[in-house]
Amino acid sequence: KLVEFRNEAKLLALKEDIKLTYMAFISKAVLIALKEFPIFNSSYDAEKGEVYLKKQINLGFAVDTPDGLIVPNIKNANDLAIFPLATKIDYLATKTIERKLSLSEQQNGTFSITNFGSIGIPFGVPIINYPEVAILGIGRINKKPIVVDDSIKIGYMLPLSLGVDHRIIDGADAGRFLNKIKELLNNPTLLVLS
């Protein structure tokens, strides 16, 4: 459903000169999930043994550059709909690759996404961007055989992986967080209604 929804929305985005990638939809799903599970939008100070829940969501995303991964972040990303998110992602990714990113655009992230799929890797294990407490890894979307109503059909699959700091977040909550993202991506109209 996400592939179909994006293909339809892509036509509208092109009219507004917006590059609409899957990252905008995944980012929006993460932002909605972070509102429901605020502990994932926190930081941990190991020295003081304190967890800080963040009011704002500064959504980071890893960008592959010749100098390695750099993680810009979208300040107050929770205030943005999908098209503005897509615009901001494209803008910051371009600035990052061109080495024009300011220090402030890299600081104070609260949650990050890393996209293994952008370089053709189906699955990976993301490493948390300290002092954040969690990171979402997204793999490459591929067609796979799936079972639908006791029949084998071809469907699109998006591998997701979540790295969490287990001092702060337990596995059950991590599973619920991933299930929320899965629910939203399987029902993409929820992304525009939230």
Tens of pLDDT, residues 70-84: 999 999 999 899 999
The rounded distance, in Å, linking the Cα atoms of 19 and 83 is 9
Q: Measure the CA–CA gap between 11 and 2, rounded to whole angstroms.
A: 14
Q: How many whole angstroms separate alpha carbon 16 and alpha carbon 161?
A: 33
Q: Are 69 and 62 in contact (CB under 8 A)?
A: yes
* Residues with catalytic roles: 166
Query: E strands of the chain, at which residues?
Result: 42-45, 50-53, 59-61, 63-65, 68-70, 73-74, 111-115, 134-138, 142-148, 151-157, 160-164
Segment 120-177, tens digit of pLDDT: 888 889 999 999 999 999 999 999 999 989 999 999 999 999 999 999 999 999 999 9
Structure pTM? 0.94
* 3-state SS, residue 132: strand
With CA atoms as reference, report the closest residue to 108 among 57, 46, 40, 68: 57
Using CA atoms, how far apart are residues 153 and 168, in angstroms rounded to an integer? 40
